[in-house]
Structure 1
Amino acid sequence: MSNVRAEEHSLNPRQFQELCDMVYEITGIVLKESKREMVYRRLMRRIRELNVPSFSEYFQLLKTNDSEELPNFINAITTNLTSFYRESHHFDYLLENFLPEHEKFTGAKRRLRVWSSACSTGEEPYTLSITLNKYFGRQINLWDCKILATDLDTNVLDTSKEGVYKLDRIESLPTKIKKDWFESAEPDYPGHVRVNEILKDIITFKQLNLLNAWPMKGPFDVIFCRNVLIYFDRPTQEAILEKFLKILRPGGALMLGHSESVAKGYSQLDPVGRTTYIKL
C-alpha cells in the first residue's frame, strides 16, 4: 500500500453517493447509508491491490472509457451469500409437488428447463441438480433436462464452474447427500470437496446482468430468484418480475427469497407455499 495520508483513503458523503449512483446505473442495486462501511471495506481491498493513492483517483479509474476495473468494482460490491439447501422448502416443493405434476404436464416430451438467476458461487444450481437427479434417478438421461445458472459477478461464476468448496460448506448436509454427491478434492485442494461431475452435466453457467437484455427466450418451467430483488428499488423489482413472467410457462414455478413479498400484487402468480408461486 502506498504511503499516503489516511484521509486520502476516507470515503466522504459525496463520493459515497457517487458510488451509489454508479452501482444503481449498472446493476439496479440500491445501496443505502447503512452499507457505507461495507462499501468502504470492499473498495479498500481493491485500492490496496491496485496501489491507487486515493478514492478520488480510484473514481477516475472507474470513469475511464472501457475501464477494465469496472467488472472488478461490481464484483467487489455485489453480495454473494449462499449455501447448499438454503431455504430448503423450495427444493422440498420441487421434489414432492412440482416435479410429479411436471412429469404429467410434459408427457412424452420429457423436457425440463430451470433457471437459477443469481447462482452466486454455485450452491443453488448444484442443489437443484441434486434434487432433479434424486427425483429422476437414472431416468434423467432420458430427459431433455437443463439448468441455466447465471450471475452478475464473474468471480463467483468461476467458483461455480469449478465446483470445489471448503469442507465446512457441506458439514450440515445429510450423510447420504455428502456420500452420493461430493468427493474429496485432495490433494489438489486440501480441506476441500468437489461436486460429483454428474451434477455438472445438466448445468450451464453464464454471466448475466438482470437489467440488460436476456438472450434466452424460454419458456422456463422453474425460475429461482432468491434474495436478489431486495437489492433493487420497486420499479426495478416490478420490471424484472414482468420479464420473468414472460418467459415462465403457465403452471411454472417462481421461487423468491424469504424476505421478498413483491409477488403478492401479481394476479398471474398464485402463492402455493412460502415464497413459492405458480404462474396461472
Structure 2
Amino acid sequence: MQQTVQQQEFALHDGDFRKIANLVMETTGIVISDRKRAFISGRLGRRLRTLGLSGFGDYCRLLESDAGDAERLMLVNAITTNHTAFFREPHHFEALAANVLPSINAAQGQRGGRLRIWSAGCSTGEEPYTLAMLLCEQSAQLADWDVKILATDLDTNVVAHAAAGIYDAERVESIPGNFRKKYFTAQADGRGVMGEAVRSLISFAPLNLLQGWPMRGPFDIIFCRNVVIYFDKPTQRRLFDRYADMLKPDGWLFIGHSESLLSVTDRFKLVGRTIYRRIK
C-alpha cells in the first residue's frame, strides 16, 4: 500500500528514468535496468520529499543544473546497495591465512616486509575490519612488517559509518567469540566498538572506481567482491585491467561468489574459489 501511494505521489516517467539511469551509468558504471524502476522510484522518492520537489522532472532538472553536484552525490548514496557482513564468504579468509599470507611472506623472505591490501567497495567496513583482525592474528608471521589496508567505497555515508567502527549488537554477535573478545569493546547499549589495534591498520576513503585513483600502489592483494555485478562487460574489462596494473606481479585478487573473470580478462589465473593471481 505504501509503495502504491508513493508511486502515485511521484510518477517516474520513461524520460526521467532514462535520464537518471544514464547519469548513474556515466558517473559510476552501474547499470540500471528497467526492472529496477520501482527500486529507483522508492529510493529517490525520499530525496524528492526531503528537497520539497513536486516530481522527478524537477529532480532531473536539479541534477542537470550547475547546482546539482551535491545532489548527484546524494543520488549515488541513495541507490547504492550495501549488503555485507563480518567474515562473509569465509573461504576467502581461510585461504588468506593458510595460503596467501605464507606465500607473500616466503616471497619477501625477510622480517620487516611490506604488505598492502585494498578493499575496493568496502561498504560499512565489515570486510576490511575482518582482514585487519586476521592480520593481527598473524602477528608472529608478520612481525615488524609495514602493513596497511586501504578501504574505499563510492557511498560517502557508508565510508563514514565504517570509519567510525561502531556496530550494532547483532552485527558483533556474528563474529567468532575469540575475535570479538580481542578486538571489540562492548558499549552499554550493546553495540561494539572496533579496537585501536585493528583500526590503526586501515585507511578509509570515498572513491569512484571509474574515476582517477590517487593511490600509487602496488598492492599485494585486492578484494573487490560483489561490486562488478552492477557493471556491464566493457566496464568490467576496464576495471580489471586497472586492477592488474595496480597489483604486484603474481598479486592476488578476490572477487564475489557470483562473479567470474571468464571472457572478461586474460590477465589473471584462477587459483581457488573466486581467487585469482595476476599473470600479466
The verdict on a shared fold, with TM-score over 0.5 as the criterion, is yes
Q: Secondary structure at the match of 2:139?
A: helix
2:259 maps to which residue?
A: 260
1:275 maps to which residue?
A: 274
2:123 maps to which residue?
A: 120
Displacement of 1:268 in angstroms is: 2.9
2:242 maps to which residue?
A: 243
Work out the CA distance in 1 between the residues paired with 2:263 and 2:197: 37
Work out the CA distance in 2 between the residues paired with 1:136 and 1:263: 36
Alignment RMSD: 1.8
Q: Is residue 29 of structure 1 aligned with residue 1 of structure 2?
A: no
| Alignment CA distance shift 1:265-1:35 (3 Å) | closer
Q: Secondary structure at the match of 2:138?
A: helix
Displacement of 1:266 in angstroms is: 3.6
Q: Secondary structure at the match of 1:46?
A: helix
Displacement of 1:185 in angstroms is: 2.9
Work out the CA distance in 1 between the residues paired with 2:91 and 2:7: 48
1:80 maps to which residue?
A: 82
1:157 maps to which residue?
A: 159
Q: Secondary structure at the match of 2:62?
A: helix
Unpaired segments ≥5 residues, structure 2: 1-5
Displacement of 1:270 in angstroms is: 1.6
Displacement of 1:267 in angstroms is: 3.4
Work out the CA distance in 2 between the residues paired with 1:263 and 1:131: 30
Contact 1:8–1:55, Cα closer than 8 Å, also in 2: no
1:11 maps to which residue?
A: 12
TM-score, normalised by the number of residues in structure 2: 0.92
Question: What is the aligned counterpart of 1:175 among 174, 177, 195?
Answer: 177
Moved more, 174-183 or 227-236: 174-183
Q: Give 1:143's aligned amino acid.
A: W
Q: Secondary structure at the match of 1:59?
A: helix
Percent identity of paired positions between Structure 1 and Structure 2: 44
Q: Give 2:199's aligned amino acid.
A: K
Aligned residues between the structures: 273
Displacement of 1:35 in angstroms is: 1.3
2:3 maps to which residue?
A: none
1:136 maps to which residue?
A: 139
Q: Secondary structure at the match of 1:120?
A: coil
CA-to-partner distance for each residue in 1:120-162, whole Å, 9 max, x for gaps?
A: 100010001011111125x756111000001111100100100
Q: Give 2:161's aligned amino acid.
A: T
| Alignment CA distance shift 1:156-1:265 (3 Å) | closer
CA-to-partner distance for each residue in 1:43-98, whole Å, 9 max, x for gaps?
A: 01111222222211111111121422111111001111111011111111110001
CA-to-partner distance for each residue in 1:254-280, whole Å, 9 max, x for gaps?
A: 000111112565433121111100112
